[in-house]
């Protein structure tokens, strides 16, 4: 569940990709946040709305992402040729499929359309290339094109926090953990106050095999900002992959609460009852019962159901469901290579074929 609980932070989020400051920034601070090389808008109100959108976008909450999207939209209304506002819109959609309940199939096409429009207006805009790279990989499964766009963004603006940050998570899901750590450190040096970057560093540390350092960092972030989604989601991911079900449950519950996801809460409630009755096996079987019901009602995804089946040792069902996830172009499929919940499938030819289909490097 590395993408569904974390992602797709990630991941993947995803990215993922935080709340930098609780007090609203004044005009001077907003102006100082302008990305390097940003061209002025033809309409001053368009630029002001864009900078306001950046402030909201940086906070990474469902409410603020919606505010940011409105700011970027209004910026475009004031200046239809202002490329940064389109890039900002693209980045909003890139995150809304993780931090809100917007489906990826809606968010990614909108994100890529906005990013391509920004590039058409200004090919030198690093944040537009960075936004396009995100969609190229997580939606189009084109790792080569994504890496080209990430590197283009960094070449255009070596001080782009988002470019180093998202390139790091891209490298992580490809299994290039040491390169990912180097990139996330570049992002952290450029923005040492970012909770989002620190949280993704925690996830990358786990992918690099540094489990204790990962947990320690994520718990520190969680203690500092308990309302921030990423550390809860990432700790749930980490604990599940470590088979530490006792610690997994409260983090999964907090994740469901922060996402306002009633289906996820039903699963967690059943998991708590199952764990109380028969620990790990009871937890997984209780989860499976609810997940199957939701899946049959088309309210739950094949990838997550495959995870539970695999943890229960039922590899045939897990492989069958992963095929469905790939056929449905589930964005979480990019995590297949590093998701330890599927480690039992690594020697299966069908699993290796799916890695190739998603465009991921093969397993050693």
pLDDT for 72-109, tens place per residue? 999 999 999 999 999 999 999 999 988 888 988 999 99
* 8-12, 17-21, 73-77: which is most confident: 73-77
The dihedral of CA 293, 296, 301, 306: what is its sign? positive
Select from 327, 339, 317 the least CA-distant residue to 5: 339
Q: How confident is the model at residue 265 (pLDDT cuts 50, 70, 90)?
A: very high
pLDDT over threshold 80, residue 343: yes
Bridge partners of 14?
A: 10, 11
Q: Choose among 171, 132, 168, 172: nearest CA to 152.
A: 132
Element spanning 79, H or E: none
Rounded Cα–Cα distance for residues 228 and 256 (Å): 12
Distance of CA 320 to the CA centre of its chain: 25
CA 13/CA 97 separation, integer angstroms: 9
Evaluate the CA torsion angle 56, 58, 62, 68 in order and state its sign: positive
The three-class DSSP label of residue 77 is: helix
State the DSSP code for 193. T
As a whole number, the mean pLDDT across the chain is: 89
Residue of 99, 107, 105 lying closest to 233 (CA atoms): 99
- 5 pLDDT higher than 90: no
**CA–CA gap between residue 252 and residue 258 (Å, rounded):** 10
Instruction: List, for residues 268-326, the tens digit of each pLDDT value.
Output: 999 999 999 999 999 999 999 999 999 999 999 999 999 999 999 999 999 999 999 99
Once rounded to an integer, what is the mean pLDDT over residues 168-196?
A: 96
Quote the pTM value: 0.83
Pick from 3, 298, 306, 297: nearest CA to 287: 306
Res. 231: pLDDT tops 60 = yes
């Amino acid at each position: 569940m590395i993408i569904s609980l974390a992602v797709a932070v990630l991941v993947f989020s995803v990215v993922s990709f935080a709340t930098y400051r609780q007090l609203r920034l004044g005009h001077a601070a907003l102006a100082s946040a302008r990305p390097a090389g940003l061209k002025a808008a033809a309409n001053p109100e368009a630029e002001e709305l864009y900078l306001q959108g950046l402030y909201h976008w940086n906070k990474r909450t469902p409410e603020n992402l919606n505010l940011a999207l409105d700011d970027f939209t209004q910026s475009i209304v004031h200046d239809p040729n202002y490329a940064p506002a389109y890039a900002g819109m693209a980045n909003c959609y890139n995150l809304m499929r993780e931090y809100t309940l917007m489906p990826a199939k809606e968010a990614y096409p909108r994100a890529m359309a906005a990013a391509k429009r920004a590039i058409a207006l200004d090919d030198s805009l690093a944040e537009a290339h960075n936004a396009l790279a995100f969609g190229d990989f997580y939606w189009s499964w084109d790792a080569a094109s994504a890496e080209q766009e990430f590197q283009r963004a960094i070449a255009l603006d070596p001080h782009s926090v988002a470019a180093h940050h998202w390139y790091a998570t891209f490298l992580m899901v490809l299994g290039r953990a040491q390169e990912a750590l180097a990139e996330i450190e570049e992002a952290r040096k450029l923005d040492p106050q970012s909770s989002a970057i620190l949280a993704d560093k925690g996830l990358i540390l786990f992918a690099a095999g540094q489990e204790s350092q990962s947990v320690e960092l994520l718990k520190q972030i969680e203690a500092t900002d308990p309302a921030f989604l990423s550390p809860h989601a990432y700790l749930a991911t980490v604990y599940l992959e470590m088979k530490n079900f006792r610690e997994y449950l409260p983090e999964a519950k907090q994740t469901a609460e922060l996402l306002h996801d009633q289906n996820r809460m039903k699963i967690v409630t059943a998991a708590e009852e199952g764990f109380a009755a028969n620990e790990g096996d009871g937890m997984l079987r209780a989860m499976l019962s609810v997940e199957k019901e939701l899946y049959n009602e088309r309210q739950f995804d094949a990838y997550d159901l495959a995870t539970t089946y695999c943890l229960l040792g039922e590899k045939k069902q897990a492989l069958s469901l992963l095929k469905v996830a790939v056929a449905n172009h589930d964005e979480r499929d990019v995590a297949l290579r590093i998701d330890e919940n599927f480690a039992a499938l690594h020697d299966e030819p069908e699993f290796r074929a799916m890695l190739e289909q998603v465009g991921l490097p093969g397993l050693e």
